Structure 1
Amino acid sequence: MQAINKERVAGLLQGLAQFGKTEHGITRLAYTAEDKAAQEWLLKQIQDLQLKLSVDAVGNVFLRREGKNTDLAPVAMGSHIDTVVQGGAYDGTVGVVGALEVLYMLQDEELERPIKVIIFRAEESSRFGFATIGSKLMAGVGDPDKFSGAAKEGSVTFKEALTEWGCDPAAYKQARKAAGCFKSFWEIHIEQGKVLEETGERIGIVHNIAAPTRFKIIVEGIADHSGATPMGFRKDALVSAARLVIAIEEAATNEAESGTVATVGVLDVEPSSINVVPGKATLWVDLRGVDEESINCALSDIRDAVSEIAKNDSITITMDMLTADNPVALSEELAAKLDVICAAKGIAYRHMNSGAGHDAMHMAKLAPASMLFVPCKGGISHNPAEYADNEDICLAIEILAEAVKEEASA
């Protein structure tokens, strides 16, 4: 196996970071011109690998290295290159660049199985309100109509973006894959938390992935003149929404020991004028965890709060569920292989869960799946300050290369 080229890894990560870069961070939303330009640039950089390129019906990219037996199910690796608004340079891209570097390291190896690197489309929820869309559609979860349902008024829907990308939304089922299509799936990712940094361990072996339950809460009051409407006569949607924000915080705090968290990430207010009592408020809520019972308890508390606040404030409140994924257990067998490799190398590592969702959670429906985490500075992610040390990234790549070599050898 060839030695890792640390300069190439750093160069590809830094190169991708130029696409969508502004003074406020990197904004490279899925299916945008920046997304396409970044992908095209990356593909040009790795032409010497002579991989077979294919693209599915929803824009997921597959880069195939053949094995001696082309009929065997490939070993797959990958992640995404889209970002959140004003994001960083490592979320997702570490997994794509790392997978490609594994192929460079295995160039001289004669392996039985093919290997595929996947660049998933639309992993981030920033543009359409749904996360991991590309891998969801591969696993047969959802459809373009569903993923277009969370678009704000005047925004491009998922179906429209898919069409602009050159895909036919009606053909989305062609992207579906059957269970067993891959022998296994592997993903490297920054931790997006501070556990590894705090403990001084350099690698995390992931066992469970938290699942997001996402929904809108629509509060409908009455828009009135801010000066002429006495306090006792108001039906202020924003005041009721504020009570809901606190109730959601409390619901998650009550389940904190199980690792459940909840966030009101967006609060839209209408008509949003300083001299008008808000007539409508929409809360966009992200509830997630690794314990399904705990998630359901928090959701139940939130529903109770909706009913109570609506009654007490004499206001109309409705909930619109967007997605409710289940927590996913990754392969214990693959985790054990990573454990052996890390122990043999004398690496400080830990077994852990992921609080963030990843494409691996849907790939686990198609094949045994596993993830490696690398530390990120301060646990910061989805932020321009996001940073992972190249030495830690390259260590994870070396571990993955050994695991993939073993997987593809039989």
Structure 2
Amino acid sequence: MLQVNHERVAKLLQGLASFTDSEEGVTRLAYSPLDKKAQSWLLEQVQDLHLQIRTDAVGNVFLRRDGKQQLLPPVATGSHLDTVIHGGAYDGMCGVVGALEALYMLQDEELGRSIEVIIFRAEESSRFGFATMGSKLLTGSAVPEQLNKGAKKGDISFIEALREWGCNPDAYRDAVIAPGSYKCFAELHIEQGKVLEQTQHQLGIVHNIAAPTRFKIHIKGVADHSGATPMGMRRDALVSAAKLILAVNEAAETEKANGSVGTVGVVDVEPGSINVVPGAVTLWVDVRGVDKASIARVLQSIREQAENVAVCDGVGVQIEMLTADSPVALDKALAAQSEAICTEKGFSFLHMNSGAGHDAMHMTKICPTTMLFVPCRAGISHNPAEYASTENICRGIEVLAEVLRREAN
């Protein structure tokens, strides 16, 4: 097997980071023109790999290196290229670039099975309110209509975006991959947390992935003049919303020992004028964890507080569920294999869980799946300060390439 090329890895990551809609960090939303330009640029850079390229009905891209036994289920790897608003240059890109670099490393190897690198569409929820959309559609975990109600104000719907991308949303069933179609799936990713850095481990071997439950809380009050309406006569939707923001935080705080977390990431206020008492507010809530019972307790606490606020404040409160994914356990045998490879190479490793969701969580529905984490500085992610050293990334690529080599033979 060839050596990992540090210079090429750094060049590809830096090149992808240049495709951004913002001066601060990287903003490259799913299904946007920049998303397509970044992908096209990357595919041009790796033409010398001579991969077969296909795109499915919802925009996921598959780059295939044929093995000697092409009728056997291939080995799969990959990640995503889209980012959050003002995000970083490593989340997702590390897994795509790492997968392609692994293929470079395997160029001198004769492999029994084919290897496919998957570029999943719309892993981030920044544009359409749903995460891991490409892998959900690929594994039959969702249909376009289900994912069509979360677009931000002023943007087109998900189905409209599919059509703009050149996809046919009516043919979404053609994108579904049946269980057993892949031998296994492996995803390389930055940790997006502080554990590896603080414990001084070089790699993380992931065993469980926390799953997001996402919903909107709609609060309906009465819009009134801010000067002419006495304090005791108001039904201020934003004041009620503030109580529910605290309720989300408190519900998650009580379950922190079980690893559950809760976040209100977006607050939409209407009419949004300084001299008008807010009449309507929508909170976008993300609750996640690896313990189903703990997540259920967080959600129940939020529902109870929503009912209390509605009664005490005289406002309407409605919860609109967007998605409720289940925590996912990854393949133990593949994790053991990664441990053996790390030991052989002299890399320190930590068995751990992922607090963030990933495309890998849906791939478990169709094949054994594993994830490898590399440290990121100060655990910062979804932020312009997101950073992972080329050395750390390439160490992860070395292990990934060996996993792919062993699984393809």
Per the alignment, residue 139 of structure 1 pairs with 139
Q: Which amino acid aligns with 1:210?
A: A
Q: Return the offset for 1:21.
A: 5.4
Tell me the secondary structure at the aligned position of residue 298 of structure 1.
helix
In 2, Cα distance between equivalents of 1:233 and 1:21: 44
Per the alignment, residue 123 of structure 2 pairs with 123
Equivalent runs, 1:389-404 vs 2, <5 Å: 389-404=389-404
In 2, Cα distance between equivalents of 1:268 and 1:116: 41
In 1, Cα distance between equivalents of 2:328 and 2:91: 20
Cα distance per residue 1:66-94 (max 9 Å; x no partner): 01011000000000000001111000000
Tell me the secondary structure at the aligned position of residue 25 of structure 1.
coil
In 2, Cα distance between equivalents of 1:406 and 1:81: 27
Per the alignment, residue 19 of structure 1 pairs with 19
In 1, Cα distance between equivalents of 2:109 and 2:24: 43
Per the alignment, residue 45 of structure 2 pairs with 45
Tell me the secondary structure at the aligned position of residue 297 of structure 1.
helix
Tell me the secondary structure at the aligned position of residue 22 of structure 1.
coil
In 2, Cα distance between equivalents of 1:336 and 1:19: 37
The answer (yes or no) to whether the contact 2:129–2:152 under 8 Å persists in 1 is no
Q: Which sits farther off after the overlay, 144-153 or 192-201?
A: 144-153
Per the alignment, residue 252 of structure 1 pairs with 252
Equivalent runs, 1:33-72 vs 2, <5 Å: 33-72=33-72
Cα distance per residue 1:111-134 (max 9 Å; x no partner): 110000000000000000000000
Per the alignment, residue 327 of structure 1 pairs with 327
Q: Which sits farther off after the overlay, 176-185 or 149-158?
A: 149-158
In 1, Cα distance between equivalents of 2:268 and 2:279: 11
Q: Which amino acid aligns with 1:200?
A: Q
Per the alignment, residue 365 of structure 1 pairs with 365
Matched, 1:167 2:147: no
Q: TM-score, normalised by structure 1?
A: 0.99
In 1, Cα distance between equivalents of 2:179 and 2:143: 18
Equivalent runs, 1:10-409 vs 2, <5 Å: 10-20=10-20, 22-409=22-409
In 2, Cα distance between equivalents of 1:222 and 1:314: 10
Cα distance per residue 1:188-221 (max 9 Å; x no partner): 0000001001011110000000000000000000
- Structure 1: stretches of 5+ with no match in the other structure: none
- Structure 2: stretches of 5+ with no match in the other structure: none
Runs of 4+ in 1 over 6 A off after TM superposition: none
In 1, Cα distance between equivalents of 2:338 and 2:273: 56
In 1, Cα distance between equivalents of 2:312 and 2:128: 34
Q: Which amino acid aligns with 2:69?
A: N
Tell me the secondary structure at the aligned position of residue 118 of structure 1.
strand
Tell me the secondary structure at the aligned position of residue 287 of structure 1.
strand
Q: Which amino acid aligns with 1:35?
A: D
In 2, Cα distance between equivalents of 1:75 and 1:21: 34
Tell me the secondary structure at the aligned position of residue 154 of structure 1.
coil
Cα distance per residue 1:152-188 (max 9 Å; x no partner): 3432110010000001111111100100110000000
Cα distance per residue 1:289-308 (max 9 Å; x no partner): 00010000000000000001
The answer (yes or no) to whether the contact 2:214–2:324 under 8 Å persists in 1 is yes
The answer (yes or no) to whether the contact 2:76–2:183 under 8 Å persists in 1 is yes
In 1, Cα distance between equivalents of 2:388 and 2:193: 12
In 2, Cα distance between equivalents of 1:198 and 1:330: 24
Tell me the secondary structure at the aligned position of residue 26 of structure 1.
coil
Task: Compute the RMSD of aligned alpha carbons.
Answer: 0.7
In 1, Cα distance between equivalents of 2:269 and 2:24: 25
In 2, Cα distance between equivalents of 1:103 and 1:246: 48
In 1, Cα distance between equivalents of 2:212 and 2:366: 20
Q: Which amino acid aligns with 2:261?
A: V
In 1, Cα distance between equivalents of 2:102 and 2:299: 41
Q: Which sits farther off after the overlay, 90-99 or 21-30?
A: 21-30
The answer (yes or no) to whether the contact 2:127–2:152 under 8 Å persists in 1 is no
Cα distance per residue 1:37-96 (max 9 Å; x no partner): 000000000000000000000000000000101100000000000000111100000000
Cα distance per residue 1:348-378 (max 9 Å; x no partner): 1100000000000001111000000000001
In 1, Cα distance between equivalents of 2:345 and 2:151: 48
Distance 1:392 1:152, change over 3 A: closer
Tell me the secondary structure at the aligned position of residue 36 of structure 1.
helix
In 2, Cα distance between equivalents of 1:318 and 1:22: 35
